[in-house]
Structure 1
């Protein structure tokens, strides 16, 4: 009888990758909610901007795990953990939409649209890191996504703000965020992440003039 109970417990026990994915998601949520991003970096404390900031942190972990070479003995576990984290993210988004009163028939359509935005963000950040594009390119992308707080209107399928003037103060904060993003990427530790442990670097406190009226033109995406 005890052996049967043990087997049943084992059958219903979450897989290690699933448990790790859930813990990693909570770590990403905690990091993305740090007050410094909203106070010092000027990220708008609104749904769109919070989504962008969370997508960045989840995307960093997912893309770093997915980039592990096939010959690495940790490859399969990394792939499964990345998928578990991504699934936790999507499940949370689905729940949030429903809590906001979105009807059952509308949720799939909105999730599809959000999925397109998420895929675009993950791919672009991964490209920036793989190509060593530098802080200027990363800052520009930050200014047009995280700092912009897009509402994902129908005219912008990926939710990205393009070709608009950006204040010097915003660009300065975007450059600081790009430095943080690179530090987070450099600090990534595969073994810790696979065990469900995730430590992001602390974002530097900023002293910038948020009221600067000088304008610069955000560069176009290559």
Structure 2
């Protein structure tokens, strides 16, 4: 491979960052914190981003097109590159960055697997349980879990309707009516 091989960009690296940036914007929508009662805290914002990234990664990983899996990996890589940068900007010391990113990766991985399993179940009950556990640490405001579960299912369906060709160009929509 040689030195030049180390300098080569990963497939879909730029596209992964484009998809991730749009996903973060969707996860920062004020309605999520005001109307859907996601806590407007550092942890709540991480949970909102993790939820949206998990939905996108799930969509990409399950596409029959061979580009789906590397696109999913590129989004994941972009997320954790951003988390590393964010921690540094918040003043976290270099010696603890790796441990903190690892804990965030484990939290994301657990959440993503739980969301995926819940989305595979009919109805909202399983998804609501997972949302209550992850978003609200076991105690959701009245009606919030059902409302957020409906939104998550609509977002997941909207992502499934989007063409992989568009996603591979870095174009994703979190408009619940997206075609």
TM-score by length of 1: 0.70
Instruction: Report if aligned partners of 1:31, 1:200 keep a CA contact under 8 Å in 2.
Output: yes
Aligned residue in 2 for 1:183: 154
Q: In structure 1, how many angstroms separate the alpha carbons of the residues matched to 2:55 and 2:167?
A: 12
1:96 aligns with 2:78: no
Query: Secondary structure, in 3 states, of the residue corresponding to 1:187?
Result: helix
CA-to-partner distance for each residue in 1:186-206, whole Å, 9 max, x for gaps? 111242222211111359xxx
Give the aligned length. Answer: 169
Instruction: Report if aligned partners of 2:158, 2:175 keep a CA contact under 8 Å in 1.
Output: yes
1:112 aligns with 2:102: yes
1:54 aligns with 2:49: yes
1:199 aligns with 2:173: yes
Instruction: Report if aligned partners of 1:184, 1:200 keep a CA contact under 8 Å in 2.
Output: yes
Q: In structure 1, how many angstroms separate the alpha carbons of the residues matched to 2:103 and 2:11?
A: 30
Instruction: Report if aligned partners of 2:124, 2:149 keep a CA contact under 8 Å in 1.
Output: yes
Task: Flag the structure with larger Rg.
Answer: 1
Instruction: Report if aligned partners of 1:94, 1:107 keep a CA contact under 8 Å in 2.
Output: yes
Q: In structure 1, how many angstroms separate the alpha carbons of the residues matched to 2:11 and 2:109?
A: 25
Query: Secondary structure, in 3 states, of the residue corresponding to 1:140?
Result: helix
Query: Secondary structure, in 3 states, of the residue corresponding to 2:71?
Result: helix
Query: What residue ranges of structure 2 are gaps of 5+ in the alignment?
Result: 1-6
Q: Please, which of 14, 22, 25 is the counterpart of residue 19 of structure 1?
A: 14
Instruction: Report if aligned partners of 1:17, 1:80 keep a CA contact under 8 Å in 2.
Output: yes
Aligned residue in 2 for 1:145: 134
CA-to-partner distance for each residue in 1:110-152, whole Å, 9 max, x for gaps? 111111101001111111122x242112112212222x2xxxx
Query: What residue ranges of structure 1 are gaps of 5+ in the alignment?
Result: 1-11, 149-160, 204-222
| RMSD between aligned residues | 2.1
CA separation of 1:195 and 1:16: change in aligned 2, threshold 3 A: farther
CA-to-partner distance for each residue in 1:140-187, whole Å, 9 max, x for gaps? 2212222x2xxxxxxxxxxxx35xxx36xx241111110111111111
CA separation of 1:43 and 1:193: change in aligned 2, threshold 3 A: same
Q: In structure 2, how many angstroms separate the alpha carbons of the residues matched to 1:110 and 1:63?
A: 24
TM-score by length of 2: 0.86
Instruction: Report if aligned partners of 1:98, 1:107 keep a CA contact under 8 Å in 2.
Output: yes
Shift in Å, 1:19: 1.9
- Runs of 4+ with deviation above 4 angstroms: 12-16
